[in-house]
Structures are given as C-alpha cells and as structure tokens.
Amino acid sequence: MTDATASGAAPERRHTSLMTADKGTRRRNAAEARFRAYGLAAIAVGLAALVILLVSILSQGLSSFRQAYVTLDVPLTAETLDPGGNRDPADIASVSTFGYSSIIRDAVLNTFRNAGIEIEGLSEDEARGIISPEASAQIRDRVLADPELIGQTVEIEVLANSWIDGYFKGRVTDRTAELNSNVSPAQIQLAQAMQDAGILNVHFNWAFITAPDASDNRPEAAGLGVAIIGSLYMMLIVLCLALPIGVAASIYLEEFAPQNWFTDVIEVNISNLAAVPSIVYGILGLAIFINFAGLPQSAPIVGGLVLTLMTLPTIIIATRASLKAVPPSIRDAALGIGASKMQSVFHHVLPLAMPGILTGTIIGLAQALGETAPLLLIGMVAFVRDYPAAPPDGFFDPASALPVQVYNWTQRADPAFVERASGAIIVLLVFLLIMNTLAIVLRRRFERRW
C-alpha cells in the first residue's frame, strides 16, 4: 500500500470537458474524415469514368449524324429508263440500279467539268468513285416515285462514299489516302474542289435515323430505321405482357398468398431468376418459342417474349417492395370501415404503391432495351433491309434491335461502321435517358405522402 492509500486520501481525478476532444474522440473524428474522403474519391472516380466514356462515345459518334452529299444535275434519259416510251410502271421498274450507273457516271463528269474543276492525274473511274454505290438506288427510287421525271434533267443530292465522307470528318487525310487502295489523293483533291465550288456539302443526316441497314460496301447508307422500329415493337410487347403479369403476381404474393413453404419456394425462385444471366433466357427462347412453338426467327414477337421473361422478376421484386412500403394502417383503416380485402388493396394500397411500380417497370424496360445476348441467340442478328409492317402483323416480320445493330456494325471492317456504331450507342443512350426521366416524372406525379 502506498502512503496516499494508507492515509485514506482520495485518488486524484482527471478533469475532462465536453468541449475538449479526448484521444478516442479524435480517433473517431479522423476515421469519419477518412471515410468521407474515401466516399468523395469513389464518386470522383465514378464521375471521371462516366465523363471519359461519354466523351469517347460522343467524339466518335456525333459525326455519324452528319454526311457528305454531292449535288448532281442528272439527265434522266427516256432511252435508258423507259425504252418502250409508254411510261408503264412495270417497264420502268424493270430497269435495275445497274441501268442507272451510266447516267450517274455522266452526271458526275459533267458536273465537275461544268464547274471548271480540273485535277491532274484524275481518271474518269476515280471521279465516278467519289459517289456512293447507293446513288443508283436513290435515283431509281426517285424515278419510281415520280415517273414524270423521265426525260428531264433534275437536280439530285446523292451520297458521297464513306472514304470521301471520312475525309471531311478527319478519318482520312492526304497522307493516309496515298497508302489506301479505296481512295486516292486525286479523289481527295476533287472532293475538296467540289466543296469549294458548292457542289459537295456536309449536313445533318436524317437517313441515319430513318434508313435501314446497308451492305458492307455502303456504310454511308446504313441507318437505324429498322432497328429502332424493332426495339419499339419489342418494348411494346414487354410492356403489355410483363406489367400486368408482374403486378398481378406481386399483389397475390404480397397481399393474398398464405405464408407457407410453397410461397417461400416461389419467392426464392423469383429472386434467383432476377440473377440469371440474360443469355440463358436467349437459350430458353430459342428452345421454346422457335424450336417448339415454331415462331419466326428474328421477329419482334420472339424478342419481346424473351425479354418479358427476363424483365418479370425485376418488376415483381420492385412491385412487392412498393406494396410492402405502404403502411399497414392504410389496410387496417380500409378494413375497419367495411371494405373487403380486395377493395382495400385495389382502392387504397395499389394507388399508393403506383409510383414505385411504375419506376420499377420503366427501369426493367430500360434494362431490356439494352440487352444483346438473348437477341443474338434468337436470330435478330440477321441482316434486315425491309421495314416491318404495322402491328400486329409487324410483330412477326423480321427486324433488328438497337443493341444488336451496334454489335453488327462493330464486326465490320470499314472504319465508317465504327462511327455508325458509336452513333447508334448515342441513340440508345437517348432512349434510356428518356425512359429514366419518364420514371422520375411519373414517380413525382403519382407520389403521395402519408
């Protein structure tokens, strides 16, 4: 025993204050500051990655919305386009695009010669080569739409080929043209001279949004028209099937189903289905809807059914969470004034859960819109040139989809298709942005507070 203890003196007490941080408090404050710094760093990294991704996509894809066009004075000679001279639509339609090639060749040569353009070392074939092979089809479609043009000289704006278009977008330079067998320096000089003379112009390309896909040799004519319609058809099928089925299943499981082992098995399987890889749904669709049911490949009906199966678990989980978030007092109050169980659910609980249901549905549709793997397995990767008909017949016509179109274009060799793929990604992102914005607006519109 010490002297202080032996004498019975009280031990010395340390005086602390709430205004003074002790060692433990400083340690906790430092840990909290580090956690905040980690959180801010994670947000900064995520935003930086998003900015880099958007800049990369926009820098490569925005140019796809602009296209080089050449304005030609084309003599539509009756001897070539209407040999019979009777303006019979069948006879005019019998003239293929090859029959228009000589007309376009002469029109190109006359156009730049009349403008006084002379390029040393430029052959006639090279001069004709700056025009897209799609030009013949463009002029043919114009004549078929208005046969009275035959015998006249009309001013028509036709596509320049992808390499000339790439020159005005920075993909092709004079130096790379010397090493490229698809374009020559003389053609580059001719294109520049034609732009200076006002014959060649680069402006907004509506055909990129409305035109169908094109062959590997005509990237300048490739468009998203069929893919956009196919995606819209599939989203319409998913909405009409997944929303009522998913909401009905959620209401039953959450409000009416007895709590036993059977409903527990259903709930576990729904949660597991939400985590199944999308390509598994594609294999299921191939086996059931195509091989067993005999539905046509590459049709929106098959894609819509596959995406419906994939979207259902997401909608069910979101709907059940929304129903569970409604306070039990709402149900008790409705039952207390004499409402039946069904009336309390459909008249009181469901309207209050509607914002969450709509949000979950739109998020599920947005996820389905960007899926590629299941659509590849059911044949939507096929080259489709014709537009599908109006619903419901169009649901069974061949079509493509936006993510599949991106996949197709990235597999092609011409650099212009990479530009087109980035442009298609921009269109897909715009669709997703609109759908997510719609989800926010609907949530705010129908939201009720209690």
Give residue-wise pLDDT tens across range 120-178: 777 778 888 888 888 888 888 888 888 888 878 888 888 888 888 888 888 888 888 88
Rounded CA separation 400/300 (Å): 8
Q: With 60 as the cut, is the pLDDT of residue 15 above it?
A: no
| CB-CB contact of 243 with 361 (8 Å) | yes
| CB-CB contact of 151 with 69 (8 Å) | no
- Between 275-284, 346-355, 377-386, the lowest mean confidence (pLDDT) is in 377-386
Supply the pLDDT for residue 46. Answer: 94
Phi-psi region of 401 (alpha: psi -120 to 50; beta: other; left: phi over 0): beta
Q: Where are the domains of the chain?
A: 65-205, 225-446
Q: With 70 as the cut, is the pLDDT of residue 3 above it?
A: no
DSSP letters of 304-367?
HHHHHHHHHHHHHHHHHHHHHHS-HHHHHHHHHTT--HHHHIIIIIHHHHHHHHHHHHHHHHHH
Mean pLDDT of 82-99: 73
Question: Residue 403: which of 380, 379, 436 has the closest Cα?
Answer: 380
Supply the pLDDT for residue 2. Answer: 52
Please give the C-alpha separations between residue 444 and each of 18, 244, 437, 438, in angstroms, as whole numbers. Answer: 44, 22, 11, 10
Rounded CA separation 64/205 (Å): 8
155 is written with which tokens? 């001013």
pLDDT digits (tens, 9 = 90+) for 394-421: 888 888 888 989 988 888 888 888 889 9
Is the model more confident about 381 or about 11? Answer: 381
Q: With 70 as the cut, is the pLDDT of residue 12 above it?
A: no
pLDDT digits (tens, 9 = 90+) for 247-272: 999 999 888 888 888 888 888 888 88
Rounded CA separation 107/115 (Å): 12
Is the model more confident about 449 or about 178? Answer: 178
For the chain, what is the mean pLDDT? 84
pLDDT band at 13 (very low <50, low <70, confident <90, very high): low
Measured in degrees and rounded to the nearest 5, phi and psi for residue 257 equal -70, 140
Mean pLDDT of 75-84: 77
Supply the pLDDT for residue 1. Answer: 47
Class of domain 225-446: mainly alpha
Beta-carbon count within 10 A of 77 CB: 15
Q: With 80 as the cut, is the pLDDT of residue 96 above it?
A: no
Angle (CA) 420-425-431 rounded to 5° is: 130
